[in-house]
Structure 1
């Protein structure tokens, strides 16, 4: 039983961190790359989709408070991530940190959990990216023919042609008669499929190239968000009665569990947690940072602070422009900017969404392949997952295998409720990392820590409690799916990983020499 909780020695982790050569990941990222890597994942579905849904379904105008609650939870975890990343600057994120403090079984659980988080997160975003691209093409006059339209949505989904646009049945205005409308049945979302394959190709070519492309796109979409805020704030300053009407009441009266009131703010925080999954992905790139001890805390905390402030600002402006009850749509920010009367605004927002969601896919797939890489290096997964390309110095086989599997998910499956699944994975990772910092402080108080989490054990305890509290507010279906995924993972662990674990082998050799 003890071997299941074998801890990977920090000395072994530090040795991995200083390895050089063609079989190791290339250190090429600076603090700006790392901050934009985090922003690239965070500013995407959160601003362009989830803000409106959380306002309409849970918190009303108080969705700004939901982002503050979620941001505070992230801040506790972010401080703990920053300490671990400065001590153990290698790929793997929460998986590696759990291995170093809480043992192999816990590390496997969180690693397997992160695989679910990043895979379904990327698939969900790919579906959204496909929808925004089709909407953009229609707006500039490139409406797909019926023969092509069936290749822009998932199998079995029905699209209706209404007012020059292809609209899914769920998005049809209430009461719209469908008898006389042209319709097609989806076969395969080719756009989402090709989007994932394109991102996978970029990741195979190299982390530096991927990060530079991400940085460029991040600046583009931040400019788009900035324009939305400038136009929105300008409109509200000239029409204060609109904001006064839409923001009243700021916290709507409760209409049931998780719907408005204080409980709605917490439920909103749980639902928008998908918006924050990017900042922990920064830590998966630790082994590719030039100066990880200094730059990882800057990347993690910098991206978190910038994005939280942007989320609060966007949610306030959006709910000021449009009644929160009208925001349960796929493109709430476009709806908001339409309210300003700026004709080109909707087109600009769709361009920003296309760029924004593209970088989210990139960072999620990068994070997943790096977790695979670390688990394989430890013997918990087959060797192919840690094979490094001799020229590009990237885990290319892992990238290709993961990317190909993920590409089929949004292409074939009508994915619902996936953001809650991703939220569960993120929150579980946050709780384990927070607990791990406290455990390591107790076990190794004199360890050199380039960055120290303040107020230990208070901050780690608050990190664990806030994450568990938000997990408790997620739907029951989320818990069921995660538990089933966990059972599958444990079958793999006990039938393969325990027989190939390098840490368990080291322990057995050490015991044999005594």
Structure 2
């Protein structure tokens, strides 16, 4: 059956070498390392973690970060094994095609697109909130929404998506350089918050470690 049809590694490599389907290697080791850190340390770490600790989990939110770190480690090892076994583009779509068939690969491919769209929407939303906050602190009070054709639209996320769309159109190397700058800045802020936060830590707040439901 067509949906159970699989490929071999040799076929996948041959397809990747077809004229017009080859991708230029434009990212170095450092770029890939920073890209991995950018994915692991997302924009939500500045807002979601604090909200979860202050509203729901209390100090026990530490367990969430430990579980997340363990899960990331497993995902890293899985993708490292996949990439070394099948050194072609396609991510989980290609690996599923080779092992489980075209039908499941089709589902995985659309799931990857849905994942990227959902993640981009969340990040754009929070970046829009950050942008509005920065303008407010600077004394520039602007409405967070605009009316466009009878629809109410949040201009912050729209602007963020537009800017990064232009960067992607400019090329992989340009967007990678911008990503490197933002990721290093983000990591520096995270380390700064951790170091300074230790000086304000009150151990009395760790009781109860797991608050009542």
TM-score by length of 2: 0.89
Let me know the Cα RMSD of the aligned residues.
2.4
Aligned residue number for residue 60 of structure 1: 58
Distance 1:121 1:98, change over 3 A: same
Q: Does 1:75 align with 2:73?
A: yes
- Residues 32-431 of structure 1: pairs in structure 2 closer than 5 A: 32-144=30-142, 148-151=143-146, 187-236=152-201, 243-253=202-212, 255=213
Structure 1 unaligned segments of length 5 or more: list them.
Answer: 157-185, 237-242, 256-514
1:155-209 CA-to-partner distances (Å, cap 9, x unmatched) read 99xxxxxxxxxxxxxxxxxxxxxxxxxxxxx821122112112212211221122
Aligned residue number for residue 7 of structure 2: 8
Distance 1:155 1:229, change over 3 A: farther
Q: Within 1, Cα distance between the matches of 2:94 and 2:79?
A: 11
Q: Within 2, Cα distance between the matches of 1:44 and 1:244?
A: 28
Cα contact 2:145–2:155 (8 A) shared by 1: no
Q: Within 2, Cα distance between the matches of 1:199 and 1:57?
A: 33
Q: CA deviation at 1:57?
A: 4.8
What secondary structure does 1:94 align onto?
helix
Cα contact 1:16–1:90 (8 A) shared by 2: no
Q: CA deviation at 1:224?
A: 1.2
Q: CA deviation at 1:59?
A: 2.7
Q: Within 2, Cα distance between the matches of 1:40 and 1:218?
A: 6
Distance 1:214 1:16, change over 3 A: farther
Structure 2 unaligned segments of length 5 or more: list them.
Answer: none
Distance 1:28 1:91, change over 3 A: same
Equivalent position to 1:29, from 27, 30, 53: 27
1:405-447 CA-to-partner distances (Å, cap 9, x unmatched) read xxxxxxxxxxxxxxxxxxxxxxxxxxxxxxxxxxxxxxxxxxx
Q: Within 2, Cα distance between the matches of 1:155 and 1:41?
A: 35
Distance 1:220 1:235, change over 3 A: same
Cα contact 2:132–2:144 (8 A) shared by 1: no
Q: Within 2, Cα distance between the matches of 1:86 and 1:226?
A: 33
Bigger radius of gyration among the two: 1
Cα contact 1:154–1:189 (8 A) shared by 2: no
Q: Within 2, Cα distance between the matches of 1:225 and 1:149?
A: 27
Cα contact 2:44–2:123 (8 A) shared by 1: no
1:299-358 CA-to-partner distances (Å, cap 9, x unmatched) read xxxxxxxxxxxxxxxxxxxxxxxxxxxxxxxxxxxxxxxxxxxxxxxxxxxxxxxxxxxx
Q: Within 2, Cα distance between the matches of 1:194 and 1:127?
A: 10
Q: Within 1, Cα distance between the matches of 2:188 and 2:164?
A: 22
Cα contact 1:51–1:63 (8 A) shared by 2: yes
Q: CA deviation at 1:53?
A: 3.0
Q: Within 2, Cα distance between the matches of 1:35 and 1:46?
A: 20
